[in-house]
């Protein structure tokens, strides 16, 4: 019993009494001190009395490189591709500078025009010294329909009667569309004259017929054909351009009564009745094409609305106004402006007309002799996939024969192997035999006799295959 009490006395310092706080002594760290009493309090007050550790000042972690690059690329020039957009990787463009890609790659020449969409400028490429028309659309006026123009250009295969698209990019909150440089529009060409002569009018008709037929064959609708959107080169070859209202028949419904953008942006002077109501088709393009030929061929006034709008579409036109046009072309335009859309001829049907077919054959022969302004050369894309700044042409277009025809003709000589060279000798220091025949004893070198190992000699001796 005494031993038990003594053990209890030893453990007395480790037994807690109620409302006593246990702590280590400062003088003796291993000895418990129970001098401090705990106060009776609630759980709420107890939690408030707890001293919380001071907040740790954590250094802000840097963004991962992929996000940091995304922030840096936010203000960089991005080229538009059919699958999205990419940062321009051209030797002409330095992202570190505040200048835009346009300022790096082009020299501004002059303003070509302004409109509700933005402006069009003429510029010269610094690397190729070629002139281009660049359309600039600010983001404040940018919508999905302006992107449609860039993607529409990409979906149209190249054709000599369609304005050539080169590239499109976004920089400094502005969409840029780089296009082929033409001389002037058909409307500007006809300004100041009464009407086009029969030869010029037929050339315009045949050129645009081929370009529009190319669009329709690729299931695309222009939706805004008029003289302002028909462009002429210096050689008077007409091209169809300005695809701001282009639509794809494969992805968009032909009959779209809710097409408010076309109803607000389309020019009422050249629209058919069903197009005003929102029904777009290849026949609405045919109507706009026909009434455009009527305007430049007769100098008729086309109202956007009013009392004169309806009679023109009913072909209630005085004979004296139609007099400058030839009878064949007048009849074709009348069919193209028929009030029933399905009775209008398609581009392929117009090309099968015997008069059009013969004139088209002559026109193609004339265009073949016109010097081309590199309209079929590869497009200059300044992308990350092209470190040199342009796509190289196919090797099939390079004439390799010119390099060999002027070369000096020589007979190839194959030198013999020299087995007398040591490992540390330079084979170029050894005299090579001349090409002329010489004495064999002077230049022919014999192989040294090498005796086989002893074991192999005995093996061949047994089989009688080796003579000592």
- The string of pLDDT tens digits covering residues 325-384 is 999 999 999 999 999 999 999 999 999 999 999 999 999 999 988 776 544 444 443 433
CATH superfamily for domain 76-181? Phosphorylase Kinase; domain 1 (3.30.200.20)
**Mean pLDDT across the stretch 159-165?**
94
Q: How many residues are present in the chain?
A: 468
User: Tokens 């590869």 map to which residue?
Assistant: 378
Domain 185-366: state its class: mainly alpha
- pTM for the predicted model, two decimal places: 0.64
| Long-range contacts of residues 76-79, Cβ cutoff 8 Å, at least 24 apart | 76/171, 77/101, 77/169, 77/170, 77/171, 78/169, 78/170, 78/171, 79/167, 79/168, 79/169, 79/381, 79/382, 79/383
Q: What is the pLDDT of residue 149?
A: 83
CA distance linking residue 81 with residue 65, whole number of Å? 25
Can you say which residues are annotated as belonging to the binding site for ATP? 112-120, 135
Can you say which residues are annotated as belonging to the binding site for Mg(2+)? 229, 242
Token pair of 56, please? Answer: 């740790």
Question: Alpha carbon of 66 to those of 71, 81, 282, 392: distances in Å?
Answer: 9, 22, 47, 31
Can you say which residues are annotated as belonging to the binding site? 112-120, 135, 229, 242
The catalytic residues are 224
Q: What is the pLDDT of residue 194?
A: 85
Token pair of 438, please? Answer: 């010489």
Q: What is the pLDDT of residue 428?
A: 46
Per the model's pLDDT, the better-predicted residue between 389 and 234 turns out to be 234
Q: What is the pLDDT of residue 192?
A: 83
- The string of pLDDT tens digits covering residues 422-440 is 544 444 444 445 555 545 5
Residue ranges covered by each domain of the chain: 76-181, 185-366
Q: What is the pLDDT of residue 373?
A: 56
In 238-345 the beta strands, taken as DSSP E runs, fall at 238-240, 247-248
Q: What is the pLDDT of residue 58?
A: 56
Q: What is the mean pLDDT of the chain?
A: 74
- The string of pLDDT tens digits covering residues 270-314 is 999 999 888 899 999 999 999 999 999 999 999 988 888 999 999
């Amino acid at each position: 019993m005494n031993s038990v009490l003594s053990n209890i006395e030893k453990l007395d310092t480790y037994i807690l009494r109620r409302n006593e706080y246990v702590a280590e002594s400062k003088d003796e760290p291993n000895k418990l001190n129970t001098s401090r009493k705990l106060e009776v309090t609630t759980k709420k007050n107890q939690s408030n009395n707890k001293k919380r550790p001071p907040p740790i000042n954590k250094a802000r972690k840097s963004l991962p490189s992929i996000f940091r690059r995304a922030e840096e690329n936010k203000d960089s020039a991005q080229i538009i591709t059919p699958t999205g957009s990419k940062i321009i990787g051209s030797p002409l463009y330095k992202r570190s500078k505040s200048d835009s890609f346009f300022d790096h790659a082009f020299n501004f020449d002059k303003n070509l025009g302004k409109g509700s969409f933005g402006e069009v400028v003429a510029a010269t490429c610094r690397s190729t010294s070629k002139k281009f028309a660049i359309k600039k659309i600010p983001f404040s006026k940018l919508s999905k329909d302006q992107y449609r123009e860039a993607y529409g250009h990409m979906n149209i295969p190249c054709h000599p009667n369609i304005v050539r698209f080169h590239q499109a990019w976004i920089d400094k909150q502005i969409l840029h569309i780089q296009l082929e440089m033409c001389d002037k529009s058909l409307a500007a060409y006809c300004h100041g004259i009464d009407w086009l002569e029969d030869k010029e009018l037929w050339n315009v008709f045949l050129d645009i017929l081929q370009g529009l037929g190319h669009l329709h064959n690729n299931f695309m609708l222009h939706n805004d054909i008029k003289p302002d959107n028909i462009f002429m080169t210096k050689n008077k070859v007409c091209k169809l351009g300005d695809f701001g209202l282009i639509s794809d028949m494969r992805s968009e419904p032909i009959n779209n009564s809710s097409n408010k953008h076309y109803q607000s942006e389309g020019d009422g002077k050249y629209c058919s009745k069903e197009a005003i109501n929102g029904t777009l088709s290849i026949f609405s393009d045919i109507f706009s094409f026909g009434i455009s030929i009527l305007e430049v061929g007769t100098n008729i006034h086309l109202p956007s609305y009013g009392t004169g709008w309806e009679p023109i579409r009913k072909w209630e036109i005085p004979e004296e106004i139609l007099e400058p046009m030839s009878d064949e072309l007048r009849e074709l335009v009348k069919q193209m402006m028929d009030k029933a859309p399905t009775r209008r001829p398609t581009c392929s049907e117009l090309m099968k007309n015997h008069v059009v077919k013969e004139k088209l054959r002559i026109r193609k022969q004339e265009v073949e002799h016109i010097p081309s302004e590199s309209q079929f050369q590869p497009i200059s894309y300044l992308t990350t996939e092209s470190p040199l700044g342009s796509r190289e042409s196919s090797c099939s277009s390079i004439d390799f024969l010119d390099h060999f025809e002027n070369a000096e003709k020589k007979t190839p000589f194959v030198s013999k192997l020299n087995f007398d060279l040591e490992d540390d000798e330079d084979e170029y220091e050894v005299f090579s035999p001349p090409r002329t025949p010489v004495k064999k004893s002077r230049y022919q070198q014999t192989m040294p006799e090498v005796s086989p190992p002893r074991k192999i000699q005995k093996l061949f001796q047994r089989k009688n295959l080796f003579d000592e």
